[in-house]
Structure 1
Amino acid sequence: MLVEFGKANLIQKARKQPDKVKMVLDKIKADGLMPTLETVFNKLGQPLPLGYCNVGTVIGIGEEVTGFSIGDRVASNGPHAEFVSIPQNLCAIIPDQVTDDEAAFTVIGSIGLQGIRLLKPTFGETIVVTGLGLIGLITAQLLKANGCNVIGLDVDDSKLKLAESFGIKTFNPLKADPIKAVMSLTNGIGADGVIISASSKSDDIISQAAQMSRKRGRIILVGVIGLNLSRAEFYEKELTFQVSCSYGPGRYDDDYEQKGKDYPLPFVRWTEKRNFEALLNAIASKNIIVDALITEKIPLDNYLEIYGQIGKSNSVASLLIFSESSTPTSKVQVTKKEKERKEKALAIVGAGNFTKMTMLPVLKNADIKYIVSKGGLSAKSLADKYKIEFSSSDYNDLLLDKEVSTIIITTRHNLHADMAIKAIESGKNVFVEKPLALNQNELNQIIEAKEKFGVNVTVGFNRRFSPHVEKIKQFTPTSARKNMIATMNAGFIPENVWIHDLKVGGGRIIGEACHFIDLLAFISGSEVSSICMNALGTNPETTTDNASILLKFKNGDTGVINYFSNGSKAYSKERLEVYFDEKTIIMDNYRVTRAYGIKGFSKFKSKLDKGHKKQFELLSKNPNLEGELLIPFEDIVNTTKASFAAIESLKNNAWVSV
């Protein structure tokens, strides 16, 4: 699916994702055509790692990981790579009786196993498997080992023949009526269950499954097919239908997959990892045969022999073989710099969308020596595109390099403070894309380290660098008392996204609304003295994306920040209003600013400009952050403390001093 999507043209991509087309149209209305097209093309150009399962040997173990030792042979869920970093719940130890080749089937075989778990077959039942590709062939064998009578359906005679070698009764729907065949084999009763592991856009497969099922039969969908169901077919037999979700319980649960929080076995018997282990035990006991499914084994360097033929060949299972002589390396040299640096190079940690679409296009002429990402792929791709000398997956490479003077941190929020402290202690200047810290303890450590090591620290509060904000600042005297209202039509983000996790993203106030605290403080020319926040609800972990924040400044100014996620995406994302001395300035989404009652200033218009361009141009010209800082550190500390105070205010239902 991924390969075919990557080869498709723009029209074909749009047809495959009509829901995304509507999102693009809404974004055009809010942000304009060119910014939207730039975002879309950057997103479509993002490389995606391919692969299902890796088999290899453990060479390193995280601090909180249990159940593994150096040298263990393991199978893991992850992309094709010679060296991978895998959470412990997505990794299983391989029994001695299982070869590396056999263990490569662990993860994809668990997809079929989870379908069987949902079907709940009993000994002696007749189960039909529709689609005898890799998953279907493994599923059929697992059902047979479970004591079921198995019937396999596929339009490929070579796969039918392979299934027959495992003792499976098979039919080709193009050559025989599958409904009559199943009815004949079950004495007119019908199948007890049907597992669909086929891939087709046709609705015929689900209709055939219903017609060949007995009354109160069960149908499980593992593959991808047309799903226009006939109510009559399901109603008359009172059939049940369920879609299977990948490898089992834990799939797409960040707490389970990434944070290692297991489900209690007495309550969730079969999780993703326990399904992996069960599949490996089935291979070890020879209850299923997987080595017969291997169509080809290809050295990594010849990967196009597999990926170049996807959709065209009759391959069942293809294995990529990695070199046994490889040694772990975190750093890859992409280009070679000719000029001497004199300890003024930049390094970037984090290769996500912000780095790719916002930062690097502006920093393209800067002297960047490193770009680092956890997985390596995104960093290498961006290093190629922007001629960055090294890509790496190890943060320590930057800390030890004397030519690097400033480190730019654009990782997930929970990593900001720790990375900043390590950089400061290594004598590096630091630019942190907001927020600087997620709690007061982290902030105190950063302040202490900065004072001790004497380096410069700044944060990417870019809004103050927008030409619209600079225009407003120009016409609002510091001496004038101001009322300011900033409205953020932030848009809905599902609760399971990391930004809502207070330990990872800090929530949307600390993680995002800090931009607007800094913005109002910049226009005021004064620090926040106290703050009060109200929200739709009272739980700061789930309600901070629909909140109103009142701010008092030391000079007497007042501000309101409306941070809402329940508005229309077709409406402008950000709006700023400033009232002072019988004058008013309204800024609409960094595109149009109108002034009322101000002599010599009535309207300023530009393309969307939130200030990123100027911010990173200044950083590029001054990589050591010498002289006048981008943002005074005292302002950064005040804004960060104010964001913490907003959360405290919501908890205590009171004003909080900053």
Structure 2
Amino acid sequence: MTSLTIGIIGAGRIGKLHVDNLKKIPQIRIKSVSDVFIDHLESWAKEKQIEVLTSDYHELLNDPEIQAVFICSPTNTHATIIKEAALAGKNIFCEKPVSFSVEETEEALAVVEKAGVKLQIGFNRRFDPNFRRIQTLVKDGQIGQPHILRITSRDPEPPGVDYVKASGGLFMDMMIHDFDMARYVMDSEVVEVSAAGAVLVDPAIGEAGDIDTAIVTLKFANGALGVIDNSRQAVYGYDQRLEVFGAKGAAQADNNRPTTVEISTAESVTKDKPLYFFLERYTQAYIDEVSEFASAILENTEITCTGFDGLQAQKIAKAAKESLEKGAPVQLKQAAPVI
């Protein structure tokens, strides 16, 4: 295959970002975009040279020219569209999570497996050069047997309450990225989850039934331990740090900053704040994830972040919520990869 024709389902912030990044790949043709609010997208679609604009995503699935679709619509639509796209013979890129229900996700993955199409889940942090470097160091044994994983992930400001209500909660919406990162970096499945959470940023988040501050501890099948801390508000910027400590040493990934300049005077030592939010921090990761998805189809190679990876992160998120509610650790059964 020398070229790839793509359709985008959902043209919100992330859908538009994928369009911009796919435009950087010469072999890609973005033929169609579907969105329920199509009337507001005409000038944008014209600027991006989108050939077809529609409010009905089925038009993309029924188009024989389209070989792959990007599902960037709300989470509660993902599983249904995945199944329909797979049955239509389309390769699929789907934003996380696949669904809010493990059973629904498993059903969607079974349809994908039977159809024989490729499915990639949008855990973009796997493609960050810093985190990839640490994953390689761990896999190559340069840190020795991993003992402790530490992930810090804090947003610069909390989302609106309407978003919180539809998000699936902090574990499913926010920390799910860190759950995937934990499995990816440690190359081991999580077997036990313990969660603690609080409402310390915005009382309205608590009134909506969620938390805005959390710490989760993990036990891995390889014997290692992990700790993840999340907050919906870090006043100094987007705080994204990771460390793996092992028998031979440790590797850390610090925050990305506008510059690496450090100013030292008699009064203080200062440096730039972290980049403000995810679109800045993970610019290259977003580009690389869509590029590798396209390459996997064009060259018929393996997907980097599979449906199975999406399912496992979702199971950890579910276990974290259960642990928070019960006030006790929750065990996870290991499963063999299927997609």
Please say if 1:577 is aligned against 2:224. no
CA contact (8 A) 1:484 1:576 kept: yes
Deviation at 1:534, TM superposition (A): 0.8
Matched with 2:12 is: 352
Alignment of structure 1 residues 52-131 onto 2, 5 Å: none
Alignment of structure 1 residues 332-347 onto 2, 5 Å: 344-347=4-7
Cα distance in 2 for partners of 1:629, 1:586 equals: 26
> Structure 2: which 5+ residue stretches go unaligned?
200-204, 261-274, 333-339
Deviation at 1:361, TM superposition (A): 2.2
The SS at the match of 1:384 is helix
Deviation at 1:343, TM superposition (A): 9.1
Cα distance in 1 for partners of 2:32, 2:135 equals: 36
- Matched to 1:361, the amino acid is D
CA contact (8 A) 2:91 2:119 kept: yes
Aligned residues: 301
Deviation at 1:376, TM superposition (A): 0.6
What are the Cα deviations for residues 435-486 of structure 1, in whole angstroms up to 9, with x where unaligned? 1111123212212212332222110111111111121122224562231111
- Matched to 1:456, the amino acid is K
- Matched to 2:14, the amino acid is F
CA contact (8 A) 1:509 1:544 kept: no
Alignment of structure 1 residues 517-532 onto 2, 5 Å: 517-532=179-194
CA contact (8 A) 1:405 1:623 kept: no
The SS at the match of 1:391 is strand
Cα distance in 2 for partners of 1:480, 1:615 equals: 28
CA contact (8 A) 1:535 1:543 kept: no
> Structure 1: which 5+ residue stretches go unaligned?
1-340, 595-605
Cα distance in 1 for partners of 2:41, 2:303 equals: 28
Cα distance in 2 for partners of 1:552, 1:396 equals: 43
Deviation at 1:516, TM superposition (A): 0.9
Structure showing greater radius of gyration is 1
- Matched to 1:497, the amino acid is D
The one of the two structures with greater contact order (alpha-carbon pairs below 8 A, sep at least 6) is 2
Matched with 1:559 is: 226
Cα distance in 1 for partners of 2:197, 2:65 equals: 47
% identical equivalent positions: 27
What are the Cα deviations for residues 290-330 of structure 1, in whole angstroms up to 9, with x where unaligned? xxxxxxxxxxxxxxxxxxxxxxxxxxxxxxxxxxxxxxxxx
Cα distance in 1 for partners of 2:57, 2:306 equals: 27
Deviation at 1:608, TM superposition (A): 4.1
Matched with 1:362 is: 21
2:118 to 456, 461, 475: 456
Shift in alpha-carbon separation, 1:378–1:520, aligned structure 2, 3 A: farther
1:639 to 302, 305, 313: 313
The SS at the match of 2:167 is coil
Structure 1 vs Structure 2 CA RMSD: 2.8
Please say if 1:616 is aligned against 2:282. no
Deviation at 1:587, TM superposition (A): 1.6
Shift in alpha-carbon separation, 1:629–1:467, aligned structure 2, 3 A: same
Matched with 1:656 is: 330
Matched with 1:394 is: 56
What are the Cα deviations for residues 587-631 of structure 1, in whole angstroms up to 9, with x where unaligned? 223459x9xxxxxxxxxxx99446112111222334468321122
Shift in alpha-carbon separation, 1:591–1:585, aligned structure 2, 3 A: farther
- Matched to 1:489, the amino acid is R
Cα distance in 1 for partners of 2:159, 2:2 equals: 46
Cα distance in 2 for partners of 1:403, 1:372 equals: 15
TM-score by length of 2: 0.80
TM-score by length of 1: 0.43
CA contact (8 A) 2:175 2:230 kept: yes
